A and B are shown apart, each in its own frame.
Chain A
Amino acid sequence: MGDPAVLGAAGETTLAISGPVTLGEVSRWRDALLGALGAAQPVNLNLADAGPWDAAGLQLIVSAVTTGRSVGPPVRLCRVPQVFLSLADQAGAADWLADVIVDRLD
């Protein structure tokens, strides 16, 4: 599992997720996400290098987005690769995530 790269741009936190996001790694990524959210500013999750995924990994992202919607700060998904978009379609969660996807990788 890759190390989370947290970039503290002005007013935003970017967390780059890399490597597998499956049942074996979700606990560690949850901690990284909590850390990023602790900065109390909008969080951009850079998913460009993340994968493979499974249902547990998708649930983790859903939980992060839920956290942003319910208690803040907002969580956005950027540089979203096709593998994640396909996963979201497969799970019927594409609509639910649509408004937090900022940009997609070609």
Chain B
Amino acid sequence: MMFFEEAREQLQALEAGLMDLEARREDRAHLDRTFRAAHTLKGAAGMVGLASIAQFTHGVEAVLDRIRSATLVPTPEIISLLLAAKDHLGGTIDAEEAERPIPDGTALSEQLSAIVEGRFPASGPAPAQVSVPALDVITTAVQPTEPKSYRITLTPHQRAFRKGINPLGMLDELRELGTARVTAECAGVPPLDLLDPRDCFMAWTVELKTRVSPARLDEVFLFLDEPGQVTIDLEDASRPPSAATASEPSTAESAESSVTPAPIPESTAAAQRPTTAAKGAPAGRIRVEAEQLDELVSMAGELAILTDSLQRLGTLEGAEPWAGTLEGLERLGRRLREATLELRMVAVEELFVRFPRVVRDMAERTGKQISLRIEGEDTRLDRTIIERLAEPMIHLLRNAVDHGLETPEERVAGGKPAEGRITIGAGHEGDRVAIRVSDDGRGLDRARVARKGIALGMLPPDTPPSDPRVANLIFEPGFSTREKVGELSGRGVGLDVVRDAIRSLQGSVTLRSAEGKGTTFLIRLPLTLAMIDGLLIEVAGGHFVVPMGQVDECVALATEGSMSTMGRPAAIVRGELLPIISLREMFGGAPQDVDPDRRELLLTRHGEQRVAVEVDRLLGRVQAVIQPLGDNLAGLRRFSGATILGDGSICLILDLPTLVSVARATENAAYFQQSSPEASAV
């Protein structure tokens, strides 16, 4: 039900808040936001009858309340405990949703109570420091297109100060939501002889122009737990907030001539808060099932392909009266496809937001000091890709922490700062998205990798460390140069999984590394998986589609320019020697109507090297709606899916990187067999 989705959003906001708690302990607005995430979760769980979640969250809320009232300092130990509590809540929410037994949180609850009651023992040395850039809390309210003007009156309860309510924090939060003009209403503040200075007599009026939803405005005042303290009136949207003038009298100046004002009574006359949203205001967001959205996208894509085909009808004799209609249909189909594809796009921030916590936990376990930098988090990518990128990226982060970054002592001995740095960045490269994971650690030890590769028979015996094939070995299954299994990795399971996961997303992963300086993994991905731009090719009489993102360029070479090196076909393209892999030989079959004097080559990247893949014919570009192969054919790694062409025929989509890997491995095995028949096959 919707509670579980919203609960996970609140947990995400809670975690983001906890990660910054130590650095922003003086930031009242941040403390309030973090508290509010727990408070909202507790309330929502109580409303749907999930008492276990409500009760446990109450313990978290109580600790956060102590922190925001400045009666408790958020030490690293306390933050770690709160993060563990957040994880427990995540597990409990999952269990409740799946109707499984919920995990036992008794021990954690007891520790939270101990903190509130001042019984929490001091722990050992502080864990490794993790500094991360502040991540803004993601607001869930969708902003209406046009800004609206509101007049907000805030009259905190007389006991507000004693209850830890911070009106100034609320004012700051309103300022963050739009253009605000704040006026203090000082008329209610009594003179000194009548003032109990611990009571609150001030009030405020805020004229706010904002695009956020009324629900979002309500959230600002969530802590005002007694009615009548705030009113939010929607004003005429065309009228801007009134500008201040020096001569404009403040409402408080009436106090100059008034008799001593009486303190504001405990219960105010305005017991109700007027409806903030005008009737008929558009809903901010609706939730749909992901499968429904995928089906819509698929149908829109097929419609676009069909309408493309219909264009051919417009060229038939006598079809002139229909030309305009066909053109309009084609335009509409294309717009529908683009709009539905856009629905699938989300910012990578949704993915990146979980990594500060991951890095923090890894730093704790390994005793390393790590700073994490995140860039380009508003880059947008297909939702499915985002979801499936989490695991491979966590693998890469583990690799960076375990293999890449040195211990603080090693770094200082090497003239580096004790704190290592990991950078995650995202950006566009043409029609692709590039995501990089970099570290400033020890870099790839090419000599060691080459030795291991030779020992395992994956490389020829005389392969120098500088050979481009050396770096690719770390992506091979079971390859690891670690003598010991580490805390996080070293079992030889990891980067091959990363590579396969990225390939399944129609992407590629490469690495650049400099010994002693660091390593960068670069992931290139299509913007969406729903449709691809592809090249339609012919091989041995069959048609296939190759994703454009996997092809650097297409080249036609005269056959007489071909050569061979080490017994294998090769070609020189603009001075670059490229091995040739023939798809016809891989698939079997005879060429049909192929020009014998000409070779059609697709140049593709294989690790740090380029390879030429030979096809019989290039037939043109297509846009392919990707259809999964189904369970029976899902193991065919050489094909990433299928598509239906405009003429209704079914066509397989090739996974070019896998095909090249298979071909190269076969060639290497054959080479070793020839040069040393006793050598074991890879």
Contacts and interface: CB of A to CB of B under 8 A. Distances in A.
A59 B171 CA distance: 16
B201 interface: yes
Interface of B: 161-162, 166-168, 171-172, 181-184, 186, 189-193, 195, 197-198, 200-202, 204-206, 244, 250, 252-253, 255-256, 258, 260
A59 B189 contact: yes
B191 A66 contact: yes
A55 B193 contact: no
A91 B189 contact: no
A55 B166 contact: yes
A91 B250 CA distance: 14
Contacts of B182: 90-92
A87 B184 CA distance: 12
A84 to B, nearest CB: 13
B168 to A, nearest CB: 5
Interface of A: 23, 26-27, 29-30, 33-34, 37, 54-56, 58-60, 62-64, 66-67, 69-71, 87, 90-93, 95-96
Contact of A33 (B162, B192, B260): B192
A26 B171 contact: no
B184 A67 contact: no
Contacts of B193: 34, 67
A71 B191 contact: yes
B250 A23 contact: no
Contacts, number: 94
Pairs A-B, 8 closest by C-beta atoms: A92-B182, A26-B197, A93-B184, A67-B191, A92-B184, A63-B195, A92-B183, A67-B192
Contact of B172 (A29, A62, A90): A90
A78 B205 CA distance: 27
A61 to B, nearest CB: 10
B260 A96 contact: no
Contacts of B172: 90
A63 B189 contact: yes
A64 B192 contact: yes
B191 A70 contact: yes
A70 B166 CA distance: 28
A24 B157 CA distance: 19
Nearest to B252: A96
Contacts of B202: 55, 58-59, 62, 91
Contact of B186 (A34, A55, A66): A66
B192 A91 contact: no
Contacts of B205: 92
Contacts of B197: 26-27, 29-30, 56, 59-60, 63
A21 B330 CA distance: 70
A70 B171 contact: no
**B183, B192, B198 pick with most chain A CB within 10 angstroms:** B192
Which of A69, A71, A92, A93: most chain B CB closer than 10 A?
A92
B377 to A, nearest CB: 29
A70 B254 CA distance: 10
B198 A66 contact: no
B171 A90 contact: yes
B195 A91 contact: no
Contacts of A62: 184, 186, 189, 202
A54 to B, nearest CB: 7
A99 B197 CA distance: 23
Contact of A56 (B161, B204, B206, B250): B161
Given A34-B192, A63-B195, 12 more contacts: A26-B197, A27-B197, A34-B193, A55-B167, A55-B168, A56-B198, A64-B192, A67-B192, A87-B168, A91-B204, A93-B184, A96-B186
16 contacts: A23-B161, A26-B197, A29-B197, A34-B193, A37-B192, A55-B166, A56-B197, A63-B191, A66-B186, A66-B191, A70-B255, A70-B256, A90-B171, A90-B172, A96-B184, A96-B250
Nearest to A21: B197
A84 B204 CA distance: 18
Contacts of B206: 92
A67 B200 CA distance: 17
User: Most A CB atoms within 10 A — which of B166, B168, B171?
Assistant: B168
A59 B201 contact: yes
A66 B253 CA distance: 10
A47 B182 CA distance: 24
A92 B171 contact: yes
Nearest to B202: A59
A79 B274 CA distance: 44
B114 to A, nearest CB: 25
A96 B246 CA distance: 11
Task: Report which residue of B167, B181, B197 has the largest number of chain A beta carbons within 10 angstroms of its beta carbon.
Answer: B197
Contacts of A37: 192
A59 B200 contact: yes
Contact of A93 (B186, B190, B253, B256): B186
B258 A70 contact: yes
A54 B192 contact: no
A14 to B, nearest CB: 17
B642 to A, nearest CB: 61
Given A56-B161, A70-B258, A91-B184, A30 B167 contact: no
A23 to B, nearest CB: 5
Contacts of A56: 161, 197-198, 200
Contacts of B255: 66, 69-70
For A55, A56, A67, A90, the residue with the greatest tally of chain B CB atoms inside 10 Å of its CB is A55
Nearest to A98: B246
B12 to A, nearest CB: 29
Nearest to A33: B192
B172 to A, nearest CB: 7
Nearest to B260: A70
Nearest to A87: B168
A75 to B, nearest CB: 9
A29 B195 CA distance: 12
Given A69-B255, A90-B171, A96-B252, A55 B200 contact: yes
B244 A95 contact: yes
Nearest to B172: A90
Contacts of B171: 90-92
A27 B184 contact: no
A88 to B, nearest CB: 8
Nearest to B181: A92
Contacts of A54: 166, 168
A90 B166 CA distance: 12
